[in-house]
Amino acid sequence: MTDDRRIRSIAIVGGGSAGWMAAATLARLLGPGYATITLVESEEIGTVGVGEATIPQMRTFNRMLGIDEDEFVRETKGSFKLGIQFVDWGRLGHTYFHPFGGYGVDMAGVSFHAYFLRLRALGEAPSIDAYSLQAMASRGDRFMRSIDAGNSPLSDIAYAYHFDAGLYARYLRRYAEARGVVRREGRIVSVERDGESGNVAGVTLAEGGRVEADLFVDCSGFRALLIGEAMGNDFVDWGHWLPCDRAVAVPCAGRAEMTPYTRSTARTAGWQWRIPLQHRTGNGHVYASAYLSDDEAAATLLANLDGDALADPRLIRFRTGHRAKFWDGNVVALGLAAGFMEPLESTSLWLVQSGLARLLAMFPDRDFDAATTARYNRILTTEFEEIRDFLILHYHATQRRDTPFWRYCADMAVPDRLAEKMRVYAAHGRVFRENEELFNDTSWFAVMHGQLLPVKAHDPVADAMDLATTRARLAEIARAVANSADYMPGHRAFVNEHCRAAS
């Protein structure tokens, strides 16, 4: 009879969005009876959550949990998101939109933007936004879900969410506890490791209780109590590429109309976010403390709100990068414990989601096979690096030289993979998605074009279509997009009809 080496107990250290996402996922996919799941958190320790903006993959996560979308948006006082508007990034006075969903359609197997760049070189193409339903709908603060409309852009509307992170954690807590997850209130004062294996054996709470488990999931935030302090994993710091290291955040009163997009406005030494919710607007100023003081950052934020501030600004200190290992022994880190990248492209919860998906795909037994953990760490490291490069692009590919911060970003050396992508784009406007990379060619093109990177020539394969046909096809697509956007209801009206939160 073989020895049963199955994981029998799982302890999640820390709550917040990451902890309760982990609890809900493990409870849902492992099912009752596989392992006991305990989450330890303390009301004394706050979470970083300041309001969340997400990417469309969040819809996949919610569907996996079987969550009703209207209920979720209502309970988190959320709204919908069609993309991100970038203000003053490429140069002062310039705005562009990074949409979810593609531009136009692929024509004869060639990327749509190849034909756009061909007409643009002739001075004939309108804004690239004219070929994106998400961009055009956002101009009028419109939103709807996909409908069965044949070849219309309305048949495939990509979108994500904005929501209150604290309410989301509470929502997932109810979900997880209903499926058997046990919450333990308490502050962890010590971590005990097994003298032979080096694995974490248990954690002791201030009140004297102790939690033991076969597998520990570290969601303890920036402290990284298990993966960092206990297991001794160093932090890989990317501050030389992404120099912003602080943020001040404050909610303000919302507006009558809700924009269906996140806004990112570049400032003198960083940028400001704006996330519209049903009951308020979330705001924050991400900045580099080497170039801007905390008081100056807070003053800039307060001077650029859409409504009255509803609280005092809250300061958040961070480092950009990740732990040398995401999985070490019997400890897997998620969320801020695993690493941090500023929320410029709303990737924070995606990295939690991805870490969980890969953990379930490589779920261990109590032997914690070294080859499996090494593969997990390699894949997560690559994923972090690919997102890092996409964020660096926003700072580096700019015409701004008006402050020391922007001069540093424009002049800094960038990672080789990003430098190659920029050279390939500059030659013929081509962009490529690498393997399982999160951001696709639409995203890379939106930001490279939006950041005003020059292109020497369009893709020569676009010349296979005669110029008259190209003009006609692009004009037809622009009309279809405009008509579809006009058909969509207002964002606020849609939310009020389908998922309005209680007052």
Give the residue numbers annotated as catalytic, written as ranges: 81
Hey, which bits of 151-261 come out as E strands? 160-163, 182-185, 188-193, 200-205, 210-212, 215-218, 235-237, 246-252
Matching residue, tokens 């309108």: 126
Distance CA 338, CA 323 (A): 6
Instruction: Find the DSSP H helices in 179-231.
Output: none
Question: Does the CA dihedral 27-29-33-38 come out positive or negative?
Answer: negative
The residues pairing with 183 across neighbouring beta strands, listed in sequence order, are 39
Pairing outcome for strands 9-13 and 215-218: parallel
How deeply is 310 buried, as exposed, middle or buried, from its count of CB atoms within 10 A (0-12, 13-18, 19+)?
A: middle
Q: Which of 135, 125, 139, 132 is nearest to 455 (CA)?
A: 125
Matching residue, tokens 């969550």: 67
Q: Could you tell me the CA-to-CA distances from 499 to 79, 123, 260, 267 in Å, in that order?
A: 9, 44, 15, 34
Pairing outcome for strands 321-323 and 314-317: unpaired
One-letter amino acid for residue 303 of the chain: A
**Structure letter (DSSP) for residue 283:** E
One-letter amino acid for residue 263 of the chain: R
76 CB-near residues (< 8 Å, 6+ apart):
161, 163, 164, 167, 168, 171
Q: Could you tell me the CA-to-CA distances from 450 to 115, 127, 373, 447 in Å, in that order?
A: 17, 10, 39, 5
Q: Which of 157, 133, 134, 160 is nearest to 146 (CA)?
A: 157
Distance CA 226, CA 191 (A): 8
Instruction: Find the DSSP H helices in 86-207.
Output: 112-121, 133-139, 165-178
Length of the chain, in residues: 503
Distance CA 386, CA 199 (A): 30
Q: Which of 301, 256, 251 is nearest to 275 (CA)?
A: 251
Question: Does the CA dihedral 64-70-73-79 come out positive or negative?
Answer: positive
